[in-house]
Structure 1
């Protein structure tokens, strides 16, 4: 069982001005306009994190990100409508029920030519999100490439027959074996067993170790991105905040001091926006219980703002 909770409009507050200068002034709460649309949908669930023995609290992540978003300066074009559709909340331990509801919502958004931005919540969100994307594109005879900025492959097997925050891409690879195209950037060997590297090989995944995923290796990173994106029609970007160093993202389910920095993540996002293939995005594992000065929430919000600005301002240019 799951519940759809309408957007909490009180979260969207900040400085006022006569023109639309801040996100809280630009946000709307219904998909009624004929403009090009971006929809924000939160996933208030960390049952998958608990099943994966991580730190609970990610269920509070979406609203923490929204609070920071509200006061950001707004630089998106007038031709774009920004809509908050509220949260999907897991009731009790029924993670699967919330996944079904998320997949249905994302499918509806895609059919309406809306660009979804999902806020997590545990990374099990990627299973529900990716499933909707794969089904949507298969109906159009198109292929999806999944790019995951993460310290973990998240290719772990099910536990007692159930999914969790470490299994979303395993589940997608099993359900869509002929359509599974996956690239993970920032993989940390200390956080992934030899068996998981073998699972990645078996799933024909591509990856780059954290030791190689660094700014001075950009030419090789760009070559990898180019080779991967050229083989698919659309790209889904999923950002697990625990892939960042805990110096930048302390408020996550599984922190690490050895992750990548924001500069490199933004460079990847800029490259993906330029590809013209982005179809959807999520940011997951935001855990306000362990955040410091809202640093992780701000990082999540800035990643979203950066991607949307690069995507839609570029589209406006002749």
Structure 2
């Protein structure tokens, strides 16, 4: 097995991958993301990772409450059900980290990052590791009950992880806040509500929006996003498929034009692989009901392969600089 491009922190066993399906759209404003895990499986995710020499264990799907499709209550839609799903995910993902495996959470909508990242943060506290979260998304996901126009909690996970949200969600993982703003980098942002924009700015989150990427280039943005990642860093990637331009990734419920191209997205994944520090991954918001021939799921699998070291040619260390 070639682990040169994949050698995460020493608390994990290089090459051991666990897939965790979380089939719910409980936090979204449109039905369909619950089918995301199966679409990724149909697109051959496990087989693709196995062909890279990785030991892949599919843990199957978690089982939580159905989506009742109700209106918001006190600024939140489906809060009790969102809490249940995230608690289940937190425990499942933390268990895989304890077993020294690299978990890939197959969503499901992006509210699930509350459960996955709180588990990763808990693991980092246990191991004395630094945490860096790369948040690839068209949206900042820093809404609150007073700011949200919809009450959909998939627009709130970063706020909740940073301690701004209902007590039931912010305390998952046993530490409030689960995440410090300085630990997260947001990449590809291009749709942010006005009040949300002020809060993101006030919190000091480092954001590489599409204007920045257009002006400075994706390579420069990623170099800054990965700055100071070292051997003591647990690198977590939270990949919302709407990060991509809808021209190449139509299978999402919240498309925003003007996203990264295929090559820009591949560059992001390849630069992460070059660090050798990837230690956990979310893949969320894939909605097969809106896809065309499963092409968005296949693209997601393609990008995940690049995260784990697949490249066109072997490149020397000098060539990577």
Common topology (TM > 0.5): yes
Q: Which residue of 1 aligns with 2:51?
A: 75
Aligned-pair Cα RMSD in Å: 2.9
Q: Which residue of 2 aligns with 1:146?
A: 133
- Could you tell me how far apart the structure 2 residues matched to 1:231 and 1:197 are? 33
- Could you tell me how far apart the structure 2 residues matched to 1:241 and 1:88 are? 21
- Could you tell me how far apart the structure 2 residues matched to 1:73 and 1:208 are? 29
Pick from 145, 150, 155: which aligns with 1:166? Answer: 155
Task: Pick closer, same or farther for the CA change 1:262–1:75 going to 2, 3 Å.
Answer: same
Q: Which residue of 2 aligns with 1:60?
A: 35
1:141-290 to structure 2, matched below 5 A, reads: 141-158=128-145, 164-174=153-163, 175-176=176-177, 179-180=180-181, 181-188=183-190, 191-214=191-214, 217-227=217-227, 229=229, 233-290=233-290
Q: Which residue of 2 aligns with 1:9?
A: none
- CA shift, 1:261, in A, is 1.6
- CA shift, 1:198, in A, is 1.8
Kindly indicate which of the two structures has a greater share of residues assigned to strand. Answer: 1
Q: Which residue of 1 aligns with 2:64?
A: 90
Task: Pick closer, same or farther for the CA change 1:234–1:215 going to 2, 3 Å.
Answer: farther
What are the superposed Cα offsets for residues 103-127 of structure 1, whole Å, 9 maximum, x if unpaired? 1011111111101111111001111
- What TM-score, normalized to structure 1? 0.78
- CA shift, 1:310, in A, is 4.5
SS at match of 1:89: coil
- What TM-score, normalized to structure 2? 0.77
Work out the number of aligned pairs and report it: 273
SS at match of 2:197: helix
Pick from 7, 12, 26: which aligns with 1:47? Answer: 26
SS at match of 2:153: coil
* 5+ residue gaps, structure 1: 1-33
1:117 corresponds to 2:104? yes
Q: Is the 8 A contact 1:123 1:284 kept in 2?
A: yes
Structure with higher RCO (Cα < 8 A, 6+ apart) = 2
Stretch deviating more after TM superposition (253-262 or 238-247): 253-262
- Could you tell me how far apart the structure 2 residues matched to 1:74 and 1:250 are? 27
Task: Pick closer, same or farther for the CA change 1:163–1:133 going to 2, 3 Å.
Answer: farther
- CA shift, 1:220, in A, is 2.3
Q: Is the 8 A contact 2:245 2:257 kept in 1?
A: yes
Q: Is the 8 A contact 2:105 2:282 kept in 1?
A: yes
- CA shift, 1:268, in A, is 1.2
